[in-house]
Amino acid sequence: MLVFTRNGDVVALRTADEAAADLESIDVLDGEYEAILMLDGRIVQAAGQASEPVTLTITDTRDPAGLRERLQRAQHRLRLISDPDDPTNSFGSSESTAGLDRCAG
């Protein structure tokens, strides 16, 4: 799961539970997260209430073009060497995500 923030950062998280624990409701409410996408392009909806945990819903709606565009921006901004046309190959294994849990510029 990839979380794209409005300031251009990207965070790779292994599971929805990990993401829900890591993300903050106040940031969801403030629109901090530009997009949350699964590696196959499925859109993840985030909901939050003040002082409550974030709730994530993985939808069946896919946005592969949006995922590719965001990965290309992150690749350029953060100097990543991943292939934005194949995010499952670039981010799909534990070895490839181990160093990318926190990518910030």
Query: How confident is the model over 38-56, as pLDDT tens digits?
Result: 999 999 999 999 889 999 9
Per-residue confidence (pLDDT) for residue 103, from 0 to 100: 40
Q: What percent of the chain has pLDDT over 70?
A: 75
Q: 73 lies in which domain range?
A: 2-91
**Residue 66 in domain:** yes
- Residues listed for the chain: 105
Say how far apart CA 76 and CA 51 lie, in whole Å: 35
Total domains in the fold of the chain:
1
Lowest mean pLDDT segment, chosen from 20-29, 65-74, 91-100: 91-100
**Residue 105 in domain:** no
**Residue 63 in domain:** yes
Q: Which amino acid is at 78?
A: L
pLDDT at 16 over 60: yes
Angle at 26 between CA 21 and CA 31, to 5 degrees: 105
Per-residue confidence (pLDDT) for residue 74, from 0 to 100: 81
**Residue 38 in domain:** yes
pLDDT tier at 83, thresholds 50, 70, 90: low
**Residue 101 in domain:** no
